[in-house]
């Protein structure tokens, strides 16, 4: 009993002394004890876990975004770099920029070249399609030339007639020639003109004092041009002077 009483008395005395030191700011303030004789900090740390967790989390309670942390770290890294290291880093970045610019110019030139090639291909295809269509029209019109010759012979045989048959033949001929001329057909009739071997073929020659030398005096078959190109030469008789 006495020993227990003494221990209580000692414990009370130590508690009162600790309070006095805390108030006075003396050496005992760092080791303030509670009524149970243990240091106050130890009591809080062990007895109140939430308070200890809050005190541990307090210094970093507000986490900064990753972007700001990385920029700050990069800034600190740049601050620690020497002048030589900064120059080397600058030269490295400059070389990378020149390389990227060269690649960009190369890509741009490739795009322009491909665009020009595509445009040339498109124009070439248009010319080829036009040529194919014109060649098909040329072949078709060339096949119709004998039909035109026969219609002209029919009109010659109907000369001086005004019946329905003659009118019908005349209408068919005029309508056909109107359509073909719109498509580019041109008639070559060299009668009375000087002989042109580029567009006329001489099948006969006659001596005539009424015409100049090499004059077409008779056309046996008309010639035709299609869009400026010779489709069929005319066949004619040419005059020759009597020497």
Q: pLDDT (tens digit, 9 = 90+) per residue, 7-45?
A: 566 666 665 555 555 444 444 444 444 444 444 444 444
Taking the C-alpha atoms of residue 168 and residue 188, their distance in angstroms, rounded to an integer, is 25
User: How many whole angstroms separate alpha carbon 112 and alpha carbon 175?
Assistant: 51
What percentage of the chain exceeds 90 in pLDDT? 49
Identify which has the larger pLDDT, 30 or 187: 187
pLDDT for 64 beyond 70: no
pLDDT digits (tens, 9 = 90+) for 100-123: 999 999 999 999 999 999 999 999
pLDDT tens-place string over residues 147-167: 999 999 999 988 888 889 999
pLDDT at residue 21, rounded to an integer: 52
39 three-class SS: strand
List the 185-188 sheet strands across, edge first.
Answer: 185-188, 223-226, 229-232
Band of residue 54 on the pLDDT scale cut at 50, 70, 90: very low
What domains lie within the chain, and their CATH numbers? 81-183 (3.90.20), 186-243 (2.30.22.10)
Task: Name the E strands within the chain.
Answer: 185-188, 200-207, 216-221, 223-226, 229-232, 234-240
Rounded mean pLDDT of 57-83? 65
Q: Tell me if 142 sits within 8 A of 135, measured CB to CB.
A: no
pLDDT at 3 over 90: no
Mean pLDDT of the region 57-69: 52
């Amino acid at each position: 009993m006495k020993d227990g009483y003494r221990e209580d008395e000692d414990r009370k005395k130590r508690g009162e002394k600790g309070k006095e030191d805390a108030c006075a700011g003396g050496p005992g303030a760092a080791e303030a004890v509670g009524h149970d004789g243990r240091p106050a900090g130890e009591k809080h740390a062990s007895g109140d876990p939430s308070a200890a967790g809050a005190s541990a989390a307090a210094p970093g309670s507000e986490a900064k975004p990753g972007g700001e942390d990385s920029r700050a770290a990069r800034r600190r890294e740049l601050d620690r770099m020497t002048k030589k290291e900064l120059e080397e880093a600058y030269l490295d970045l400059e070389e990378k920029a020149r390389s990227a610019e060269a690649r960009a110019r190369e890509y741009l030139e490739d795009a322009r070249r491909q665009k020009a090639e595509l445009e040339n291909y498109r124009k070439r295809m248009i010319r080829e399609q036009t040529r194919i269509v014109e060649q098909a029209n040329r072949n078709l019109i060339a096949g119709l030339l004998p039909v035109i010759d026969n219609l002209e012979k029919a009109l010659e045989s109907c000369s001086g007639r005004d019946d329905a048959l003659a009118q019908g033949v005349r209408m068919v001929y005029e309508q056909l020639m109107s359509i073909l001329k719109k498509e580019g057909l041109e008639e070559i009739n060299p009668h009375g003109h000087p002989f042109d071997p580029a567009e006329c073929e001489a099948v006969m020659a006659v001596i005539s004092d009424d015409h100049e030398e090499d004059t077409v005096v008779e056309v046996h078959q008309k010639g035709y041009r299609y869009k400026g190109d010779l489709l069929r030469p005319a066949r004619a008789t040419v005059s020759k002077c009597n020497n």
